[in-house]
Amino acid sequence: MNRLDVGGRRPCASGSAGNEAPTQLPELVELAMLPRPPLPATRAEMDARGWDAVDVVFVTGDAYVDHPSFANGILARVLEAAGFRVAVLAQPDWRSAEAWRTFGRPRLFFAVSAGNMDSLINHYTANKKVRNDDAYSPGGRIGLRPDRATLPYCHRAREAYPGVPVIAGGVEASLRRLAHYDYWSDTVKRSIVLDSKADLVVFGMGEQAIVEIARRLAAGQTVKDLREMRGVAYALGAKEEPPADALVLPSYEEVKADKRAFARATKIIHQETNPLNARRLVQYHERQAVVCNPPSLPISQADMDRIYGLPYTRKPHPMYREPIPAYEAIKDSVTIMRGCFGGCTFCSITAHQGRIIQSRSPESVLAELKQMASQPGFKGVVSDIGGPTANMYQMRCLRPEVEAKCKRLSCVHPTICKLLGTDHGPLVQLMRKSREVEGVRKVLVASGVRMDLAQRSPEYLRELAAHHVGGHLKVAPEHTEPEVLKRMKKPEINDYKSFDEKFKRASVAAGKPKQYTVPYFIASHPGSDLNAMIELALFLKRNGYRPDQVQDFIPAPFDIATCMYYTGLDPFTGEEVYTARSLRDRRLQRALLQFFKPENYFEVREALMKAGRSDLIGSGCDALIPAQPPKAALRARMERANRSLIEGRFVHAIDQEGTTGRSAEKRSRPAATPGYRPGRRGARRRR
């Protein structure tokens, strides 16, 4: 296998490199304690290395951060370690193809990703308003990537260098690889394979796939030769026949016209996500077919160790002068595993990372902690040791022969599978060893704790409460009502109550009686109507919870809950499901989660009256709001109305010249006198 060339010589990028086993990542030199400079992000940096060209140009919608929590950091380093020359084109100006010519024509391919998030979720709130910041951009600035970034990035790559293969990947591509519902346009859209015109779309985690693609293209194979790879989707020509073993989904035209067909397609797609038994899928879009191969197999612990042991600087590229909020949030965190077998219907983690847990060895995790502790500026506090969840480390099915046949989407719902290994012992040992690393004085757990699993290990709860919580622990019961929790694939609220009691007892025993849990809840999830949200608000009041942060359900592409939102059907049972589709209904549900805030008074009142629960208005024990609006509520309503006027929601939009777009003749007229004013003697309302 190729080793990382540490002497600056030209690494091997052809020949025998393409003949190695495609599922095995390359052996890497032990350089975890010797960070190397980040990959070139400018032409000057490429020239400084003496490179005449690069093998791969990695195009990303995020700022370039050489840290293993960022996809662009990991994939660039994995390619470098496999012996390829890589340049990173971060947040290019998509309005022309000029930026794509920065490093010249790549020898192998363009690798395109919208970033760590779907670009539309990154840009817009659940109420479809533009977000005020972008956590993955320098200074949190917005506007540095386009909507649906994968599409223009792929198109510009084609324009810059026709004939160079374009490989798309990342979360956005994964979740849009087949026909999908797009919340922001409220339409069913085609597969991103067709709209991006990418040669291949890599879905799921991409380390194995990107190395295999690079090696095989370097060996002289064509993109068509790569179509049998796991974890890729591609488009067939109009005259090409799909593979004979493929399972045919309802076509794009069918799922667009018939919501039951959309629900049926969703059910099939999610039943074919276990890489150990998934079948190849085909979906026609008119005469053209999109083929989606089975997902990639989970990577081994040895490969996980190699990936996270690469020589990251763990910092943003030096070209940035402003802080990158997402980096600031995770710079002192350590990923110990990936994947999630929870199967929550509103979460995309399982769809992207898979439900089979892939864990690092304790030695690998401790080596990263030692590297962090040795870096200047480290203050001794590890902000998080976890992953998609905090406590699924090294958990797997106890019967591999059953796992190979299993079609279950969640290993913990409606009950925890009896074949699931839930031993917290390896995690407890890792937590203890992490606290002993020289230079580390505190290791926090900020990833979400799976409460139903945690309660099976009193030892884990004791360790967590005594050493790994900084005052409060974030947990996610998500809702209180059984009907909603069933649609979410989440445990009943009693699970949270019992966990909360056990955590409090463990905190008291550890001499930390003031520690508490912070529950997170979601508004407007399919199945949740006003009555369900009122019951949730009553639960919050009776238990003294006043959540500062609440979540609005956002229908992300591919998710099962998104199918429920769009179709009004549970795709697995066929039952009708209530969904709050209007923005007004969604605002009412969100307001109920924070019924105690004066600025929400009028929305909460409207929701209670609409649901026939006026008994909750007044001074009763369970009353959510008083009978008369407080002064703060009136003031907040006035300020909101003034903001609406300033923002132009109720007046003509102001153009760049400071006019309303009227003709020059009308603009020259003197300003009109004030119109109708309530309280003025003799006032008459003008038409």
Q: Say if residue 363 is in the same domain as residue 224.
A: no
Q: Say if residue 171 is in the same domain as residue 38.
A: yes
Q: Say if residue 56 is in the same domain as residue 199.
A: yes
Residue 672 has pLDDT above 80, yes or no: no
Of 468, 500, 529, which marks where a domain is finished?
468
In the chain, the percentage of residues whose pLDDT exceeds 90 is 84
Residue 684 has pLDDT above 70, yes or no: no
The average confidence (pLDDT) of the chain is 90
pLDDT tens-digit profile of 322-364? 999 999 999 999 999 999 999 999 999 988 999 999 999 999 9
Q: Say if residue 221 is in the same domain as residue 336.
A: no
Residue 513 has pLDDT above 80, yes or no: yes
pLDDT tens-digit profile of 279-296? 999 999 999 999 999 999
Whether 673 is covered by a domain: the verdict is no
Residue 144 has pLDDT above 50, yes or no: yes
Q: Say if residue 222 is in the same domain as residue 338.
A: no
Q: Say if residue 201 is in the same domain as residue 85.
A: yes
Q: Write down the pLDDT at residue 675.
A: 41
Whether 420 is covered by a domain: the verdict is yes
Whether 528 is covered by a domain: the verdict is no
The number of domains in the chain is 2
Q: Say if residue 344 is in the same domain as residue 225.
A: no
pLDDT tens-digit profile of 591-622? 999 999 999 999 999 999 999 999 999 998 99
Count CB-CB contacts under 10 A for residue 51: 16
Whether 590 is covered by a domain: the verdict is no
Of 468, 494, 519, which marks where a domain is finished?
468
Rounded-to-integer distance, Cα 37 and Cα 77, Å: 11
For residue 341, CA distances in Å to 15, 61, 396, 550 come to 40, 29, 9, 24
Tell me, what CATH number does 381's domain have? 3.30.750.210
Rounded-to-integer distance, Cα 603 and Cα 588, Å: 6
Q: Say if residue 223 is in the same domain as residue 339.
A: no
Whether 308 is covered by a domain: the verdict is no
Q: Residue 58 is inside which H or E element, if any?
A: strand 56-60
Which one-letter amino acid corresponds to residue 325?
P
Q: Say if residue 38 is in the same domain as residue 171.
A: yes
Rounded-to-integer distance, Cα 587 and Cα 645, Å: 20
User: In the predicted model, what is the mean pLDDT of residues 443-472?
Assistant: 96
Judge contact between 176 and 558, C-beta under 8 A: yes
pLDDT tier, 401 (very low <50, low <70, confident <90, very high otherwise): very high
Q: Write down the pLDDT at residue 646.
A: 63
Whether 185 is covered by a domain: the verdict is yes
Residue 82 has pLDDT above 70, yes or no: yes
Q: How far apart are the first and last CA of the chain?
A: 82
Angle between helices 301-308 and 207-218 in degrees, nearest 10: 80
β-sheet bridge partners, residue 187: 182
Count CB-CB contacts under 10 A for residue 232: 29
Residue 667 has pLDDT above 70, yes or no: no
Question: Widest CA span of the chain, in angstroms?
Answer: 93
Whether 258 is covered by a domain: the verdict is no
Domain that holds residue 427: 332-468
Of 229, 247, 265, which marks where a domain is finished?
229
180-192 burial string, b = 16+ CB within 10 Å, else e? bbbbeeeebbbbb
Judge contact between 330 and 62, C-beta under 8 A: no
| Residue ranges in 49-185 assigned as alpha helix (H) | 71-81, 119-123, 150-160, 170-175
pLDDT tens-digit profile of 642-664? 776 665 554 443 343 333 344 44
Whether 306 is covered by a domain: the verdict is no
